[in-house]
Amino acid sequence: MDKGEALIVTAQRSIAILGGTGDLGSGLAKRWLAAGHAVVIGSRSADKARAFAVDLGNGARGDDMAGAARSADIVVVAVPFASHEATLREIRDAVQGKIVVDAVVPLVPPKVSVVQLPAEGSAAQAAQALLGDGVKVVSAFHNVGASKLHAGGRADCDVLVFGNDKEARDVVIALADDVASRGVDGGVLANSAAAEALTSVLIGINRRYKVPGAGIRITGLS
């Protein structure tokens, strides 16, 4: 699948963003709405999600977590790590046969600038194990600063995309192209550990250099 084909595929699908009222989720929602995608905001409170969707405009809709997951073709999980497992259990039945994009980073306060990966190897691998083989889990958007997404236009950084299914990775790479400089194929899901760990490194860089959203750029690509 080339970039053009992937863009056509994603343009015909809807995207549920679970945790869509948070900084990262709402930033992704704004960029995908601007690119013409249909977006459903998922929150633990359906009323909160619907009110937030009204504020976003551009045809955004809102629902509770399971309702949003059921209504979309692609489901993005952008909740805090502490809510990761509970959210996945809540939506497990609703996402069978779908692509689930896991954007969760295993941050454990108060030491969020210290790498602390889960026993499964990464949050994405934990998601795949919990959701089962009927779901194509793709890992992405860990290293995109939410402030960049809210600033307007595409974020000036690359997005590493991981997953065991190549076609599913291609779909998410096309979505990444809509919100950042480009999506980059990072290979199998196990490699997500690198991007998840890098998030803690970037948080530390933000603090030490007093910048709002350090990101990454892969050099040497055409």
CATH number, domain of 131, equals 3.40.50.720
Asked whether residue 2 carries a pLDDT value surpassing 70, the answer given is no
The answer to whether 141 and 159 are in contact (CB under 8 A) is: yes
Asked whether residue 222 carries a pLDDT value surpassing 60, the answer given is yes
Nearest to 132 by CA among 171, 182, 91, 184: 91
Q: Is residue 103 part of a domain?
A: yes
The answer to whether 184 and 161 are in contact (CB under 8 A) is: yes
Nearest to 30 by CA among 11, 65, 21: 21
Q: Is residue 214 part of a domain?
A: no
E strand or H helix that includes residue 137: strand 136-139
* Structural domain count, the chain: 1
Its domain, for residue 93, covers 3-209
The rounded percent of the chain whose pLDDT value lies above 70 is 95
Nearest to 156 by CA among 174, 183, 181, 185: 181
Q: Is residue 162 part of a domain?
A: yes
State residue 11's pLDDT score. Answer: 54
Q: Is residue 127 part of a domain?
A: yes
For 127-161, b where at least 16 C-beta lie within 10 A, e where not — what string? bbeebeeebbbbbbbbbbbbebbeeeebbebbbbb
Q: Is residue 220 part of a domain?
A: no
The answer to whether 165 and 136 are in contact (CB under 8 A) is: yes
Q: Is residue 222 part of a domain?
A: no
Residues composing the chain: 222
Q: Is residue 188 part of a domain?
A: yes
Give me the half-sphere count of Cα atoms (radius 13 Å) on the Cβ side of residue 196: 28
Q: Where are the alpha helices (DSSP H) in 12-140?
A: 23-34, 46-56, 65-71, 84-91, 123-131
pLDDT in tens, 89-106: 999 999 999 999 999 999
Q: Is residue 182 part of a domain?
A: yes
Give me the mean pLDDT over the 54-59 stretch.
Answer: 97
Q: Map tokens 């750029």 to a residue.
A: 217
